[in-house]
Structure 1
Amino acid sequence: MGILRVAKRAVVGRKLRSTQLGETLLPKRIALPVFASDALSSVAYAPDEIFLVLSLGGLSAYSFNWKIGLCVVAVMLVVVASYRQNVRAYPSGGGDYEVATVNLGPQAGLTVASALLVDYVLTVAVSISSGVQNATSALPWLSGHEVVAATGLVLLLMAINLRGAKESGTAFAIPTYLFMVSILGMAAWGYVRYATGDLPLAESADYEIVGEAPYESFTGLAMVFLLARAFSSGCAALTGVEAISNGVPAFRRPKSRNAATTLLLLGTIAVTMLMSIIVLADLMRLRYVEDPEQQLMIDGRPVGPDFEQHTVIAQLADALYGATPLFYFTIACTGLILVLAANTAFNGFPVLGSILARDGWLPRQLDHRGDRLAYSNGIVVLALAAVALIVAFDAEVTQLIQLYIVGVFVSFTLSQLGMIRHWNRLLSDESDPAARSQMMRSRVVNAVGLAMTGTVLVIVLITKFLAGAWIAIATMVVLFVIMRSIRRHYRDVSSELEIDDTDVTLPSRVHGIVLVSKLHKPTMRALAYAKVSRPSSLEAVTVSYDADGTAALQDEWERRGLDVPLVVLDSPYRELVRPVVRYVKERRRSSPRDVVTVYIPEYVVGRWWEQLLHNQTALRLKGRLLFLPGVMVTSVPFQLSSAGLASPQGARPLAGDVRRGIEVTPKDGDGRE
């Protein structure tokens, strides 16, 4: 077994048979951390984003933080309720893409797909970057190395997910549950201390906030715009809700019911944690601003460039626990869940990619399962795209968050509209009063969801477009165009490959050409194979750019009495590929109904560095000849002794050796007997 194969087995694990797919399905206790970690992790940065935006309006704007939190909660509850209907109506795993495609048409489905693909990539980039940013609160030495740390974490997640959904879910379940315990425990302890009159203030409570000029008065249109922007930033808490609808096939039976139950658990836990943090931060008079150096004042003076602003959770944990193990436990769990939140995308992106590939919108390689029955190609593509974003935006959450949630609310809105069309279609054929009543209630839920998600989408587009959302929108448009081009290519190829009357007509003749560079064993094998193939005519062709060498080859050809004519092609400019291609074209032009078969002898080496010692002429020739119509290219390999390294059996008998009684002695790695 080669070094690369050993390394692959160490990272990925042993192969699984296709019949073992059922063993990889997830129970609810594992599915919750796998698919809900993204939505749950938003507790770690959604409050931060609300406070950041409100700080632009000065301290008076902070009085709206819990009200904005309630608006976000209302949208989340409606979205969760509507997605519980989605997973029951469309359990195949297509999620929003399938709902939009079936009910609104392929173009709407493709719009949803492009939005979700962009959102999944952003989920990984934002979650990992946020996790690294939180980790710097406890590990100051990470400051300045966020990009390297984030890239390493993405690659680590990729490696874990290549081992399969069940193994990655099992590995991530405990950290996710610990995060729930840490946040709910911290909130509970804070409320107990508040009830007893012992609630401490946050470290930033004594600072004054200076708002920005357009919002400082916090009145009129400026106030409305600022609140809308804070609300749109807080709606980042809704990302990840759609992942469960895309991952229904990964659940154990009954799939739809288990997915709906997991959605309910997700909504309940996420809402509780989000509001607990926002209200607790308000009670502890926490301050969190976008530009601390300019916006935070102490005794009428700016805090200066040396001030280090900690995240919302870090400030709360520090005030409640101090420098105790509980503080580090909370920070560690927060940083870990932000990293693991990316795992939701690693489960959603490959599944969606496989469905799009199956429908012809993406390359078909994305529909292939790897050794561990995971969609390995999709996992790798997601990781590389996320790393590119992290490097491009320097792992800055504030910059990345502006690109966020646009895609997910595009999919939310079109999905709700699609579900309304779905219920309308079913109602037109349903006569049972009880069933009709249930469908009408479901339609109302989706109608409310459409109104809410559509409103949020408009707010997000207005408030975030110039701040960076245009990049996400432009990327969606590019993806949309690319996927349409891929679909058109597959459609054209399928049309060209359809059998017609000309495909059953035999060629008039087959003309064989054996390419010869020198007279050695590979050439003799190619000549023998060409003769056995019985073409209508056969000739050998060599290219002459050394008169003496060509003369020597002709002399040896005649001396050995080879019965195949040798044609010499002159090459005054010492080219090899072009004269051969020109000659083959001439043969085709002279007899268009004939087929030309070119036999290329090539020897095979076993060590990677030996490849560098040969000029790969055969590869270049094949690359040119394959584009010529009516030309068949046949490689005739000759394995050198080092090629035995590729097989544990060493040298193997050639065809016919056993029948003729020829024994072959196995050789060691150096080719010695």
Structure 2
Amino acid sequence: MASSFSDAVKRLLVGRPFRSEDRRAPALKKRIAMPVFASDMLSSVAYAPDEILLALSLTSLVALTVAPWIGVAVGAVILVIVACYRINVKAYPSGGGDYEVASKNLGPRAGLVVAAALLVDYVLTLAVSMTVFAAYITTAFPVLAPYRVPVAIIGILLITLAGLRGSRATPVLLAVPTYLFLGAVFLTMCVGLLRVGAGDLPQAETADYTVAHTGINDEATLGLATVLIVLRAFSSGSVALAGVQTVATAVPAFKKPRGKNAGNTLLLSGLLAALMLTGLTYLASVTGVKYVDDPHLYLMRPDGSAVSAEYEQEPVLAQLAHAIFDNAPVMFYLVVLVAALVLIVAANTAVEGFPGLASRLARDGFLPRQLATKGDRLTFSNGILLLAFAAILLVIATQASATT
């Protein structure tokens, strides 16, 4: 009886088993593959500007013109990395990605190091994407702010369930939020730049706020600290590089010629990510956006008093949408909700990538063989569940804070 009940629940949640021929997914065209596999890289601009401003806030440089130049530098690095990966996907079109490249050229030990780093990266991708997803959801619906951790966990569970079901319609459905996100970000950038050019400079809600001084009075020490913090801002902003390897591991899913199509997808995605990051960091600078860690300690109101402990800091993209579309509040909600949607798509890349890499390692004898076994829906269900468990632990440990 208990077995029948558990089977009924499993069928309700996951669905009926697939036959092997049911999972022969068709090769994807570039216009579908790009938003699906590059969503991790593209969606990173929803939080990369936050990381840049967060690092710069340590020396009260938020209001200066440093942030746009860091955005340009990170964008340049994105293009360099993309150029390197284009060579890799053409030379290794089997989809092994960095693990295959390192193993064949540097030996199995180097391959294992790379694989371990990628597995950790996939866990972080899922945890961070759902953490930022919760931040955007609570920005749109402030009443949910006290429940940010449950919102992030629910997001992970929904993504996990979708991964376990393994629907063949998923690629087309996942492409839509990515295109909507691209449209929302570029619309925000275009309207913002037009308003700046017209002299109708929009100001962020935090423009009149100040960031508490670091307390460093010695000029030499402050100068050295500034250099180090600018470098830290650059490294923090490099989260925009996240997801470049996802396309490399998905080469077999492209239409022929697979290597060429994957390389062109990488190039287009890199250009879009670099352009969006540069544009958003510039607009954040000119609109006076402030973004700090522990706002109640370091963010000061115009009268010099610190904000309250209940103050909820909006992501940079949300602050920009508030300022730029100040006469059209509905656009603010559109941008915020679309950003939340694309983070779900980005999280799905981890659900696709982690189990696939884990199964490959299991077949090579480096992980338990259970991770190479497919479930009823012909997905690597054990790997998906392991990924979800690790991501949930991270979300709970950090209390759904991407900056912890």
Determine if the TM-score, normalized by the shorter chain, exceeds 0.5. Answer: yes
Aligned twin of 2:338: 333
Change (3 A) 1:19 1:225: same
> Match of 1:93, SS?
coil
Q: Is the 8 A contact 1:24 1:164 kept in 2?
A: no
Q: Which residue of 2 aligns with 1:228?
A: 231
Q: Which residue of the other structure, out of 340, 343, 351, is the alignment partner of 2:348?
A: 343
- How far does the alpha carbon of each residue in 1:322-343 deviate from its partner, in whole angstroms, 9 at most, with x for none? 3621111111111222233111
Which residue matches 2:320? 316
1:285 CA displacement = 1.8
- Report the CA distance shift for 1:307/1:164 in structure 2 as closer, same or farther (over 3 A): closer
2:261 to 255, 258, 265: 258
Q: Runs of 5+ in structure 1 lacking a partner?
A: 400-673
State the match for 2:172 in structure 1. Answer: 170
Match of 1:435 in 2: none
2:378 to 365, 373, 380: 373
RMSD between superposed Cα atoms in Å: 2.1
1:19 to 8, 18, 21: 21
User: How far does residue 294 in structure 1 lie from its aligned partner after superposition?
Assistant: 3.0
Question: Secondary structure in 1 aligned to 2:403?
Answer: helix
Superposition pairs of residues 182-197 of structure 1, within 5 angstroms: 182-197=184-199
Deviation at 1:17, TM superposition (A): 2.8
Of 116-125 and 199-208, more deviation after overlay is shown by 199-208
Which amino acid counterpart does residue 319 of structure 1 have in structure 2? A
- Say yes or no: does 1:30 pair with 2:32: yes
In structure 1, distance between residues paired with 2:11 and 2:370? 21
Q: What's the counterpart of residue 141 of structure 1?
A: 143
Instruction: Tell me: CA distance 1:42–1:166, structure 2 relative to 1, closer, same or farther (3 Å).
Output: same
Alignment partners' CA distance in 1, 2:230 and 2:255: 42
Separation of aligned partners in 2, 1:233 and 1:123: 15
Question: 2:284 is matched by which residue type in structure 1?
Answer: A
2:296–2:306 contact (8 Å) kept in structure 1: yes
* Shift of residue 298, structure 1, vs aligned partner: 3.3
Distance in 2, matches of 1:28 and 1:165, equals: 20
CA separation of 1:178 and 1:318: change in aligned 2, threshold 3 A: same
Secondary structure (helix, strand or coil) at the match of 2:203 reads coil
Q: Secondary structure at the match of 2:377?
A: coil
The structure with the larger Rg is: 1
Structure 2 partner of 1:111: 113
- 1:215–1:93: structure 2 CA closer, same or farther, 3 Å change rule? farther
- Deviation (angstroms), 1:277: 0.7
Paired with 1:65 and 1:186, the residues of 2 have a C-alpha distance of 18
Which residue in 1 is equivalent to 2:209?
207
Distance in 1, matches of 2:62 and 2:53, equals 12
Conserved in 1, the CA contact under 8 Å of 2:358 and 2:383?
Answer: yes
How far apart are the structure 1 equivalents of 2:262 and 2:213? 44
Q: Is the 8 A contact 2:71 2:277 kept in 1?
A: yes
Instruction: State the one-letter code of the partner of 1:388.
Output: L
Gap change, CA 1:172 and 1:115, over 3 Å in 2:
same
Contact 2:203–2:287 under 8 Å retained in 1: yes
Tell me the distance in 1 between the aligned counterparts of 2:218 and 2:48.
23
Q: Name the SS for the 2:300 alignment partner.
A: strand
Structure 1 counterpart of 2:359, one-letter code: S
Whether the 8 Å contact between 2:56 and 2:233 is mirrored in structure 1 is: yes
Q: Pick which of 293-302 and 326-335 moved more.
A: 293-302
Please name the residue that 2:75 is paired with.
73
Q: Deviations over 1:609-659 (max 9, x none)?
A: xxxxxxxxxxxxxxxxxxxxxxxxxxxxxxxxxxxxxxxxxxxxxxxxxxx
* TM-aligned CA deviation for residue 300 of structure 1: 4.9
**Following TM superposition, by how much is the alpha carbon of 1:166 offset from its aligned partner in structure 2, in angstroms?**
3.9
Instruction: Determine which structure has the larger helix proportion and give its number.
Output: 2
Match of 1:156 in 2: 158
Q: Per-residue displacement from partner, 1:534-588 (whole Å, max 9, x unpaired)?
A: xxxxxxxxxxxxxxxxxxxxxxxxxxxxxxxxxxxxxxxxxxxxxxxxxxxxxxx
Structure 2: gaps of 5 or more residues: none
TM superposition shift of 1:196: 1.7
The secondary structure found in structure 1 opposite 2:64 is helix
Query: Residues of 2 paired with 1:264 and 1:197: CA distance?
Result: 34
Between the aligned partners of 2:257 and 2:380, the Cα distance in structure 1 is: 23
Among the aligned pairs, what percent are the same residue?
Answer: 49
1:55 aligns with 2:57: yes
The 1:198/1:61 distance shift into structure 2, 3 A limit, reads closer
Deviation at 1:312, TM superposition (A): 0.8
Letter in 2 for 1:364: R
Q: Is the 8 A contact 2:63 2:285 kept in 1?
A: no
Residues 56 and 216 of structure 1 are in contact (CA less than 8 Å); yes or no, is this contact kept in structure 2?
Answer: no
- Report deviation, 1:156: 0.5
User: Secondary structure of 1:349's match?
Assistant: helix
Retained in 2: the 8 A contact 1:199–1:284? yes
CA distance in 1, matches of 2:183, 2:340: 14
Residue of structure 1 in register with 2:131 after alignment: 129
1:43–1:274 contact (8 Å) kept in structure 2: yes
Task: Please identify runs of 4+ aligned residues in structure 1 that moved more than 6 A.
Answer: none
**Structure with greater proportional strand content:** 1
In 2, Cα distance between the equivalents of 1:126 and 1:23?
A: 29
1:294 equivalent in alignment to 2:305: no
Please list, as runs of the form range in 1=range in 2, the aligned pairs for 1:177-576 lying within 5 A after superposition. 177-214=179-216, 219-305=222-308, 306-322=310-326, 324-399=329-404
Aligned AA (2:319)? Q
Q: Return the letter of the residue paired with 1:220.
A: G
Letter of the 1:398 counterpart: T
- Do 1:147 and 1:390's aligned partners in 2 also have CA atoms closer than 8 Å? yes
Cα pair distance change 1:190/1:7, threshold 3 Å: same
Give the 3-state SS of the residue equivalent to 1:203 in structure 2. coil
> 1:92 deviation in Å?
1.5
1:577-616 aligned within 5 A: none
